[in-house]
Structure 1
Amino acid sequence: MNIRIAALTGAAVTAVLILLPLAVRDRLPEPLAVHWGPGSVPDGSAPLAVFVTTLLGTWALMWLFALAAVARGAARPGAGPGRAAAGPGRVRALGGWALLAGGGLLALGVAVSTVLANLDAASWTDARLPAWAPLAVAVVPLAAMAAAAWLGRGGAERAPEGEPPSLELRPGQRAVWVSRVGNPWLLAATCAAAAALAVAGVLHLTGIASGAPLDALVPVLTVVLIAGLFTSSARVRVTADGVAIGFGPLGWPVRRISLAKIDSAWPEQRYPSQVGGWGVRGLPGGATIMLRGGDCLVIRYRTGGELAVSVDDAGRGAALINALVAERSVA
């Protein structure tokens, strides 16, 4: 049933993307204004056929990924009707619904705002973007993704089969577990962005190159550099104070989780294809910090949410967390 709803929803979005521009094509300039600068003034154009084809292709990819995620999540053994798939299946299903809702509204927002901006314009340079367009293509899709993931969370259901791993601590014994993980590809991208920024700075200061292309490139490289610094590596530390997850080579910022908030922990195999890629994926209550596929430490909150982080030796870390949680509940 879930697969059918996802398929019908995607088909409806596809129909609108095709029929809307075709229904008013006689009132649209050729080419269309498809890119906008400051003040909602158009600064780029494309033929109607190219615009529709590109938008359809982008949406089709998102739709297919969403269908695959929903299908694989629903196919998990034991995830019957009305129950949220646990573990990777649950994450896949939530990601699929979030992508379907957010991607569908994003595609519709782009289509509707572009058509209305160009409607009855003498040429593409006369098109004007509606004031609500940024809201339609940014805020609304993100809100829809959050709502879809939240509504699809289902009840709190323990993902691992059997008892979660644990170990025995002698009275008064203090134990610490630390593990690091890094992604060489993200690290390489970060280094490349840093080198490109340095080159761009030299070119600008020496006057060899300047102008709009360089000015547009610097913000993009800066975002890649900052994102890479914070997502190329992570360190997880488990102590009697709780769990601390530090990001980047300096271990900052730090995400701290007190033992009072933790119900249990376990190791689990997760891969980027299951959670939507690398980096911080998902939403609060069902997020995965994915730096490399394979062993992940999954933490279940007492409120029912989960946080997973890809890290080496996750089983030992989960065992210590469970032992400390049990020790705290007895004290």
Structure 2
Amino acid sequence: MTPRTSATLCGLLVSAVLAVVPLAVRDRLPDPVATHWSGGSAPDGAMPLAASTMMIVALWSVLWVTLVVLAPMAQERRNGRAGWWGALAGGAVLFLGLGGVSLLANLDAASWTEARLSGWRVAAVLGVSLAVGVLAGYLRRGETDPPSAGESAPPSLRLQAGRRAVWVGRAGNRWLAAVTVVAAVALCVVAVLVLLGLAGGVAARALLPGLGITLAVGLFTSSLAARVTEDGLAVGLGPLRWPVRRIRLDAIERAWAETRSPAEVGGWGFRGLPGSATIMLRGGECLVVRYRSGGQLAISVDDAERGASLINALIAERAPV
């Protein structure tokens, strides 16, 4: 059975369970049902039973349909397979668990205001979902990725004696940059309106933290610049090129260029685990460095092959004769 078929069958099965079970016990449920809790056991929001059921099925459908679309690309690399299977299995358990916890909270309640949510059940669902996702990813990660052509024969160049060589590569994501600009403008507008008293209340003030977080994240993830010198590799994030990730030359075993897509590494931004990480701003050419300790870091950046060539040349220059 192919991963795409597995995701399709799993998605349909979970969707059926999420839709059928509430209807099977609807005589024991209030209508509307409690759907929102703000940290306590008593609810503070409700929806009609049909709407609540449709909402959780729709949210789950977004996840599994996305996984169906990404299935072919996600299977190309080991990390992609692990993340894909982990998202499918962990997501299925999460939605089934949250749906079940919500039903239990509403079961046999006279009205939605009398529904009571058990905190330990929610914690158990989150813990089990995470554990299932990690286990599924580990079991279905497959074989170690074969070395790419660049890794097998890393590029290099000949340095001229007495001359200092420097390489600078850049990359950006126009969509993330656009979101960052929109967040900055919206933040300024809302802040001014609140200060002038033209907009107030909880809703307006609640927008400020969200817009601020979006702006901060966008500044650090919409662009980068990588620089290779005799000291090693430095990667500066955002328009200010800060913070900077520095890797000493003596910590690098070799470097190469490789084509990777966001689907292979789990999306855009900072992906992976310590020892096998990716800074993914856009799909395509990436500079990959392997540490002497065994791990590796991939950076989506233009002109990656030239940067890898310089790193390897500097390493060879320092190697004992």
What TM-score range do you get, normalising by the shorter chain? Answer: 0.7 to 0.9
Could you tell me which runs of 5 or more consecutive residues in structure 2 were left unpaired when the two chains were aligned.
Answer: none
Q: Does 1:106 align with 2:94?
A: yes
Match of 1:227 among 213, 217, 228: 217
**1:159 positional shift:** 2.6
Q: Does 1:185 align with 2:186?
A: no
**1:140 positional shift:** 5.3
Which position in structure 2 is the counterpart of 1:167? Answer: 157
Write out aligned runs for 1:210-249 (5 A).
Answer: 210-249=200-239
Select between 44-53 and 269-278 the one with higher mean Cα deviation: 269-278
Structure 2 residue matching 1:236: 3-state secondary structure: strand
Q: Does 1:158 align with 2:147?
A: yes
Structure 2 residue matching 1:165: 3-state secondary structure: coil
Asked if the contact 1:156/1:305 (under 8 Å) is kept, the reply is no
Select between 6-15 and 194-203 the one with higher mean Cα deviation: 6-15
Aligned-residue RMSD, C-alpha? 3.1
Asked if the contact 2:78/2:143 (under 8 Å) is kept, the reply is no
Structure 1 residue matching 2:100: 3-state secondary structure: helix
Write out aligned runs for 1:201-216 (5 A).
Answer: 201-216=191-206
Could you tell me which runs of 5 or more consecutive residues in structure 1 were left unpaired when the two chains were aligned.
Answer: 75-84
**Runs of 4+ with >6 A deviation:** none
**1:267 positional shift:** 1.8
In 1, the alpha carbon distance for the partners of 2:261 and 2:313 equals: 27
Task: Give the structure-2-normalised TM-score.
Answer: 0.83
Match of 1:253 among 222, 243, 255: 243
Structure 2 residue matching 1:198: 3-state secondary structure: helix
Letter in structure 2 aligned against 1:122:
A
In 1, the alpha carbon distance for the partners of 2:122 and 2:319 equals: 49
In 2, the alpha carbon distance for the partners of 1:158 and 1:319 equals: 17
Asked if the contact 1:102/1:145 (under 8 Å) is kept, the reply is yes
Structure 2 residue matching 1:249: 3-state secondary structure: coil
Select between 172-181 and 182-191 the one with higher mean Cα deviation: 172-181
Which position in structure 2 is the counterpart of 1:49? Answer: 50
% identity of equivalent residues? 53
Between the two proteins, the alignment pairs up a number of residues equal to 318
**1:280 positional shift:** 2.4
Letter in structure 2 aligned against 1:114:
S
Match of 1:200 among 174, 190, 193: 190
Asked if the contact 2:78/2:145 (under 8 Å) is kept, the reply is no
Structure 1 residue matching 2:227: 3-state secondary structure: strand
Which position in structure 2 is the counterpart of 1:30? Answer: 31
In 2, the alpha carbon distance for the partners of 1:227 and 1:109 equals: 31
In 2, the alpha carbon distance for the partners of 1:304 and 1:276 equals: 21
Task: Give the structure-1-normalised TM-score.
Answer: 0.81
